[in-house]
Structure formats: structure tokens, C-alpha cells
């Protein structure tokens, strides 16, 4: 029997996730990988009480002193990464420099900066899988060290069946309750499952994650976020192809005529072939159709995504002079392990950095040999006249003007593969 993720059609943007889950299902079937059986009845009766137990732990940890809380997380992540160990040095040059940048930002703006660790994503299977736990452990330790006092870093982490397919329903429910509520959990399949579990942790729905993260940063908190958004396939499809579709649509002269744009997209043979892989979905409008076609193509391969992008620009009448730059952006984002995530950086600059300065701390892994490390911190901040500024930890007193798309591209290229 083929494995199926609980991802019914909802009529919302969640339906686009079905492209990714279907591609994962095909890969599981092709590799003949065995995953724990999770029947609807088991999810219905077992998942809810385990979520409540996890939620109770989350509430209890809020009452503990921050130092105890940190020690508990460190012990858990160390045990999950065992037998591998990557000692953390709070006096490492990168940590000391980041702490100095944080102090300079506080001096310049009169308030502490928010701290955001941007984390790389190793493979989820195989010999390097343990690095996932080592990285989030390093991120939480580094955030506390840069803050210079006990604090409560939160992790943005997926808590849905797609992320937790390799564990039992018992573990999945407990994890979703605890990580979804204490941390900034993201249930990418939260809507329309017909199961009571997600209803108990509505705060972890994907629809609420942006506001939760922005509120945390606006309050001067500390957070960790995997920049690629998950495994390579998710990054390529969701943050590579889909975000590129929005940029291509913005440059199309047909964006004012959705019906004409839809006819043009459906008439193209390359895009029609990509849409042949689409799940049971009825996209509303030409822009959503473009997103769906690009995601379906990217789910196949980066080469298919690049071909679909060229076809889409031609069908939508994007000016020839603009196509080369758009094609280069698409090629980079669907072939890199970590896409540029321009939309995320725009959100951080426009919403988070408007309230208080934001310090970005890259936490990355190495492969040969396996390693985890913290790299040079950067800032995003607003001048009194509204201009976006940035500093490097190596030059904390020098605030230079920044253009957010260029900043995002340089930051990702410098720190992530």
C-alpha cells in the first residue's frame, strides 16, 4: 500500500503543499522506504491526548527559570545528536564579535536588538542526520551567549505529519504539542484534515506563523529559523520556484488581465506538461496557476523548473530585457541547497527591523568533516529617515545603506550552500 500524507484539498494556499507531499510520496514509493503506519483512527484517538501532554510540558517550561530551560534543551539536543559532540565555545571570536554588534545596536537605537539565528539544513537521513540536532543546539546556545544573559530562544520548526513521518503517532502528537506551542511551530497541513489534533494546537497553524515570529522579534526576543525551510525539495519548490513565480508575475503585462494570462499559460506545452502533475486543485487566478505550474516543474527537477520558467516568461510576455536577470535568479534558487528567500528578508526588513534593530546570526554545518559553526553576524536596522542600514560584526560602528534584495543574495551566498 502506498504511503499518503493527510493533505486534502482545502481551497487555500495550503493546497500548493500537496505538490511537495505528492513528490515525497512518489520518492518513498520509488525507494521502497518503510514508514510507520498511521491509520486515520489511530491519529484520531492517539494524537489528541499526546498533543495535550506536549502542550502541558510547554506551559510548564514557561514557569521555569530561563537558565533551567536552557539546560534542559541542551541535554535533549545533545542526546539526540549522540554519540557525536560539537563543543560550544562562548568565547569564540564570532560570538564575541556578535555580542559587540548587539551592544552597538543597543547604543545606537536605545533598545536591545532582536536576535535571529538563520540555520542551514543537513540531510534528514543518513550519517549526517545528527547535524540537524547539533545545529539547533548550537543556535540556541549562541543566541543566549550573544544576548549575554539567560533567555528563552524559540525555534521555528515544522510540526506536521510531513515533517514527522518517520516517528510514531505517539511521538508525533507529543512533539506537535510541545514544539508547536512553546516554540514557533508550523503545521503546514493544518487545515481540513478532519482530525481533532490540529484543532488543539491552532496556534501552530501555518497561517499564524508569520505573525508569531514577527511579534517575537518586535518584542526583542530570540529565535532560530532554518533558512531553507526544510529538506532540499521543499526549498527548491516552495522558496525557489514559488517565490520566483511571484517576481515573474509582477513583470508581466498580462497581470491586469487574469483570463488572458491563464489562456497563455495553459496553451504552452511545457507548462501544460508540468500541470499534468498537479494534485486535485483548482487554482484561483492566473498568478496561482503560474505558481502551481512552477512548483510542479520544480518538484520533478531543477532542470524542469528552469525550462518552465523560460516558458512562463514567454507566455506572460515578460520583456526580453528582463528575462536574463529573472532566469539567473531562478537558476540559482532551484539549484542551491538554500534559496535566497528574498520574500523572508523583505518581511524582516519591512516589519521586524522597523520596530527595533535585528541581528542575524548564521549557524551552518560542514560535511567533510561534519561540523557546526557560527559565522559573522549582520544587522538590519532603520535609520531615523527610514533608510535600511546594515552593519557587520567585524565593523560594528559602520552602518552602511542596504538594498534588501542585494543584502539577501549576498548574505545567503556568503554563508549557505
Domain boundaries, the chain: 11-63+157-220, 233-335
In tens, the pLDDT along 84-112 reads 999 999 999 999 999 999 999 999 999 99
C-beta of residue 154 within 8 angstroms of C-beta of residue 216:
yes
Gap between the Cα atoms of 188 and 131, Å rounded: 23
Q: Indicate the range of 116-130, 246-260, 372-386 predicted with least confidence.
A: 116-130
Gap between the Cα atoms of 59 and 201, Å rounded: 13
Given a cut of 70, whether residue 288 has pLDDT beyond it is yes
**pLDDT cut 90: percent of the chain above it:** 79
Handedness of CA 34, 22, 300, 306 (dihedral sign): negative
Gap between the Cα atoms of 417 and 187, Å rounded: 26
Gap between the Cα atoms of 415 and 44, Å rounded: 43
Gap between the Cα atoms of 83 and 85, Å rounded: 7
pLDDT category of residue 125 using cuts at 50, 70 and 90: confident
Q: Which pLDDT score is estimated for 54?
A: 97
pLDDT category of residue 218 using cuts at 50, 70 and 90: very high
Q: Which pLDDT score is estimated for 304?
A: 96
Q: What is the DSSP letter of 112?
A: P
Given a cut of 80, whether residue 280 has pLDDT beyond it is no
**pLDDT cut 70: percent of the chain above it:** 99
Give the containing element (helix H, strand E) for 157.
strand 154-158
Given a cut of 70, whether residue 281 has pLDDT beyond it is no
Question: What are the C-alpha distances in Å from 205 to residues 57, 164, 192, 300, 405?
Answer: 19, 15, 12, 27, 28
Beta bridge pairs of residue 366: 371
Q: Which pLDDT score is estimated for 127?
A: 86
pLDDT category of residue 71 using cuts at 50, 70 and 90: very high
Gap between the Cα atoms of 407 and 69, Å rounded: 34
Amino acid at each position: 500500500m502506498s504511503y499518503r500524507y493527510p493533505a486534502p484539498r482545502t481551497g487555500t494556499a495550503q493546497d500548493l503543499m500537496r505538490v511537495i507531499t505528492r513528490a515525497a510520496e512518489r520518492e518513498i514509493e520509488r525507494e521502497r522506504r518503510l514508514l510507520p503506519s498511521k491509520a486515520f483512527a489511530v491519529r484520531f484517538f492517539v494524537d489528541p491526548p499526546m498533543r495535550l501532554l506536549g502542550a502541558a510540558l510547554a506551559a510548564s517550561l514557561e514557569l521555569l527559570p530561563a537558565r533551567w530551560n536552557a539546560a534542559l534543551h541542551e541535554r535533549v539536543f545533545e542526546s539526540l545528536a549522540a554519540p557525536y559532540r560539537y563543543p560550544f565555545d562562548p568565547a569564540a571570536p564570532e560570538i564575541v564579535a556578535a555580542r559587540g554588534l548587539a551592544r552597538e545596536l543597543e547604543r545606537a537605537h536605545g533598545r536591545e536588538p532582536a536576535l535571529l539565528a538563520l540555520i542551514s539544513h543537513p540531510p534528514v537521513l543518513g550519517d549526517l542526520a545528527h547535524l540537524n540536532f547539533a545545529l539547533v543546539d548550537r543556535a540556541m546556545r549562541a543566541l543566549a551567549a550573544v544576548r549575554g544573559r539567560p533567555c528563552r530562544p524559540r525555534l521555528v520548526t515544522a510540526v506536521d505529519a510531513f515533517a514527522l513521518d518517520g516517528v510514531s503517532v505517539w511521538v508525533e502528537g507529543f512533539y506537535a504539542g510541545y514544539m508547536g506551542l512553546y516554540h514557533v511551530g508550523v503545521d503546514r497541513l493544518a487545515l481540513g484534515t478532519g482530525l481533532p489534533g490540529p484543532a488543539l494546537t491552532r496556534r501552530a497553524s501555518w497561517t499564524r506563523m508569520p505573525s508569531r515570529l514577527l511579534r517575537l522579534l518586535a518584542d526583542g526576543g530570540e529565535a532560530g529559523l532554518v533558512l531553507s525551510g526544510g529538506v532540499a525539495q521543499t526549498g527548491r519548490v516552495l522558496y525557489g520556484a514559488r517565490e520566483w513565480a511571484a517576481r515573474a508575475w509582477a513583470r508581466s503585462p498580462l497581470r491586469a488581465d487574469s483570463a488572458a494570462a491563464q489562456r497563455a499559460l495553459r496553451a504552452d506545452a511545457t507548462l501544460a506538461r508540468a500541470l499534468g502533475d498537479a494534485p486535485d486543485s483548482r487554482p484561483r487566478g492566473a498568478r496561482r496557476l503560474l505558481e502551481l505550474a512552477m512548483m510542479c516543474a520544480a518538484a520533478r527537477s531543477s532542470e524542469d523548473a528552469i525550462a518552465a520558467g523560460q516558458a512562463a516568461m514567454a507566455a506572460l510576455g515578460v520583456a526580453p530585457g528582463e528575462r536574463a536577470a529573472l532566469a539567473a535568479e531562478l537558476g540559482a534558487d532551484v539549484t542551491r541547497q538554500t534559496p535566497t528567500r528574498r520574500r523572508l528578508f523583505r518581511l524582516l526588513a519591512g516589519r521586524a527591523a522597523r520596530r527595533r534593530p535585528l541581528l542575524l546570526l548564521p549557524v551552518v554545518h560542514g560535511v567533510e568533516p561534519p561540523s557546526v559553526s557560527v559565522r559573522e553576524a549582520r544587522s538590519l536596522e532603520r535609520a531615523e529617515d527610514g533608510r535600511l542600514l546594515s552593519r557587520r560584526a567585524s565593523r560594528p560602528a559602520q552602518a552602511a545603506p542596504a538594498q534588501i534584495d542585494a543584502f539577501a543574495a549576498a548574505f545567503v551566498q556568503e554563508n549557505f550552500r
